[in-house]
Structure 1
Amino acid sequence: MEVFSDKEQITRVIDAFKAQQLTIGFVPTMGALHDGHLALVEKALENNDKVFVSVFVNPTQFNNLDDLKKYPRTLEKDIMLLETISKDILVFAPSVDVIYEGKTVSQNFNFDGLEHEMEGKFRPGHFNGVGTVVKRLFEIVKADNAYFGEKDFQQLQIIKKLVKNYSIPVNVIGCEIHREKNGLAMSSRNTRLTEIEKLEAPFIYKTLKTAKKFFGTKSADWVSKWVEKQFESNEVLKLEYFIIADIDSLKQIKKKSKNKKYRAFIAVYAGDIRLIDNIALN
């Protein structure tokens, strides 16, 4: 398996692939890979001649420096895991200096308001950091297709907007949420949960599924209040937000409309570990 950390080296390889008219698939990650990431990689392998996986913990998208320090970094293990799928995957594991060239700051973006909803309200500047690193990775890798999980649905919509606003020639493909057997959405942060938190965390998805059932007959406001009440009696999990939103604008809704599609979004703390999830409602 080839691992690149140098921008010039990876550019030469990509230019050679392009000259041969080979299609390139790309899966950007922050490492600490799990089966959810591997599902994205497998999808990319099915649809492209060559596949790159980036492993880069992006400092500019963390509001909490402690969270950045604690974020798992397991490059050797990640490479071994990728090799179980295919030894032909190419890994791009750059340093912060390679990506940011000595200036570790975010570019300011206008994502037509998507960046101010949900995660944007609780993590100011987060999506500027996401937009900055994804734009730079797209400029380096020059992929035909890029794959992102729907667990970070707001991020997925923002990346689609980034590609449209900046005319980046890449097809952004969203892939369904990969879950543990107990329903918990797979996340690199799950490895930091205590045994008690691991036992309690599936309550998040269970609550989302019940909220989806209620959404068929109840108002969005009623469902939101019901969810808040469920978490009031949970001693392990603390609800940060539950929002029912239009999937295009990501704005919280007050009333349902027949021709609109909605998702429920949730953010929950288990100790100091923040877990997010979402579910399609119709």
Structure 2
Amino acid sequence: MQILTTAAGLQAYTEQARQAGKRVGLVPTMGALHAGHIQLVQAARADCNEVIATIFVNPTQFNNADDFRLYPRVPEADAALLEPAGCTALFVPSVEEMYPRPTVLRFDFGALEQVMEGAHRPGHFNGVATVVSKLFHLARPHRAYFGQKDWQQVAVVRQLVADLSFDLEIVACPTIREADGLAMSSRNRRLDAPARAVAPLLYQVLSAAAAQVRQGVRPAQVQADALATLAQEPSITSEYVEIADAQTLQPLAEYAPGRAVVLCLAAHLGGVRLIDNVVVDG
């Protein structure tokens, strides 16, 4: 596995691969890798000749300085996981390499970013779109792989690709969970033992809500029941629970026949902000 640290090095690597007729897969990450990330690498390896993983804790997508400062950083351990999974190159740039000058570009994804993560983390998706655009431009992948745990992020990236006519395919892979249902996340490393013991409640609440959706319970009632259950656990502070159209991400007052529904939540637990979602097909 080749280690690349400069934009020019990444461009040269992928250009050589393309000229050789190879398919290039890109797996953007912020490091602190877990089985969910490895699934993305393995999926890319099954589709592509070259698999480039990136590790970059992107400061422009954090609206909380402490969250950025405390985000887990274990680059040596990450590199040790990537090569056996089929990664052929790892791009680990510095902040100065990715942002040689302050970025002033602003993206507007309209209604797609005015709910859930976009509403609660102002500027977050602008930072995501900026860094993803840079990576797509530098790596010129045929396919890029993202996890469905960040459902809204995947929707924003798909919109980005469509609006800017990037010549690549976005591949979304299912959420990988721990045995007790907790969605795997790099932030889980920050949970202490008591918080980790409580954390599976998030998925339990989503699963119960999904069952209600399948039974036809009105979205407002599903949302109220989920928030009430979370409120019974004193260590959890709910940020949102939304029952939304899986494509538009707009909250639902009623169900549309045949359309998929996504149930999303965000909550704080033990000083860590966690998100999760469950999709119910129409």
Q: Same fold (TM over 0.5)?
A: yes
- Aligned pairs (5 A) from 1:137-176: 137-176=135-174
Q: Which residue of 2 aligns with 1:48?
A: 48
Q: How does 1:183-194 map to 2 (within 5 A)?
A: 183-194=181-192
C-alpha distance in 1 between matches for 2:104 and 2:82: 30
Q: Take 1:279 and 1:85, find their aligned partners in 2: how far apart are those partners?
A: 27
Alpha carbons 2:177, 2:184 under 8 Å: kept = yes
**Is the contact made by 1:106 and 1:128 (CA closer than 8 Å) also made in structure 2?**
no
**56-65 vs 4-13, which moves further:** 4-13
* Aligned partner (choices 180, 183, 187) of residue 182 of structure 1: 180
Query: Is the contact made by 2:176 and 2:183 (CA closer than 8 Å) also made in structure 1?
Result: yes
Residue of structure 2 in register with 1:21 after alignment = 21
Shift of 1:231: 1.2
Q: Which residue of 2 aligns with 1:259?
A: 258
- The aligned length equals 280
Residues 145-173 of structure 1 show CA distances to partners (whole Å, capped at 9, x for unaligned) of 00000000000000000000000111001
Partner secondary structure for residue 44 of structure 1: helix
Structure 2 CA distance, aligned partners of 1:145 and 1:83? 19
Secondary structure of 2:42's aligned partner: helix
Aligned to 1:76: 76
What amino acid does structure 2 have at the position aligned with 1:230? Answer: T
Query: What residue number does 1:206 align with?
Result: 204
* 1:157-197: CA deviation from partner (whole Å, max 9, x where unpaired): 00000000000111001110010111000000000001011
Q: Which residue of 1 aligns with 2:226?
A: 227
The ranges of structure 1 where at least 4 consecutive aligned residues each deviate by more than 6 angstroms after the TM superposition are none
Aligned AA (2:152)? Q
Residue aligned with 1:235, SS: coil
Q: Distance in 2 between matches of 1:38 and 1:46?
A: 12
Paired AA for residue 241 in structure 1: Y
- Structure 2 unaligned regions, length at least 5: none
Using structure 1 for the length normalisation, give the TM-score: 0.97
1:236-255 C-alpha deviation (Å, 9 max, x unpaired): 21111100001121110111
Sequence identity (%): 37
Q: What RMSD over aligned residues (CA atoms) do the two structures have, in Å? A: 1.0
SS in 1 for 2:223: helix
Counterpart-to-counterpart distance in 2, 1:84 and 1:197: 32
- Structure 1 residue 115, shift from structure 2 partner: 1.2
Closer, same or farther in 2 for the Cα pair 1:261/1:106, shift >3 Å? farther
Q: Distance in 1 between matches of 2:13 and 2:84?
A: 23
- Verify the 8 A CA contact 2:205 2:230 in the aligned structure 1: no
Question: Partners in 1 of 2:139 and 2:246 — Cα distance?
Answer: 29
Q: Distance in 2 between matches of 1:257 and 1:35?
A: 35
Deviation for aligned residue 1:15: 1.1
Q: What are the ranges of 5 or more consecutive residues in structure 1 without an aligned counterpart?
A: none
* Displacement after TM superposition at 1:106 (Å): 5.4
Matched residue type, 1:211 = A
Q: Could you tell me how far apart the structure 1 residues matched to 2:250 and 2:131 are?
A: 25
Separation in structure 2 between the aligned mates of residue 52 and residue 136 of structure 1, nearest angstrom: 14
Please give the alpha-carbon distance, in whole angstroms, between the structure 2 residues aligned to 1:35 and 1:216. Answer: 29
Report if aligned partners of 1:25, 1:144 keep a CA contact under 8 Å in 2. Answer: yes
Question: Are the counterparts in 1 of residues 111 and 250 from structure 2 also a CA contact under 8 Å?
Answer: no
Task: Tell me, in whole angstroms, the C-alpha distance in 2 between the residues paired with 1:57 and 1:16.
Answer: 27
Deviation (angstroms), 1:110: 2.2
Post-superposition shift, 1:260?
1.8
Distance 1:268 1:184 in 2: 13
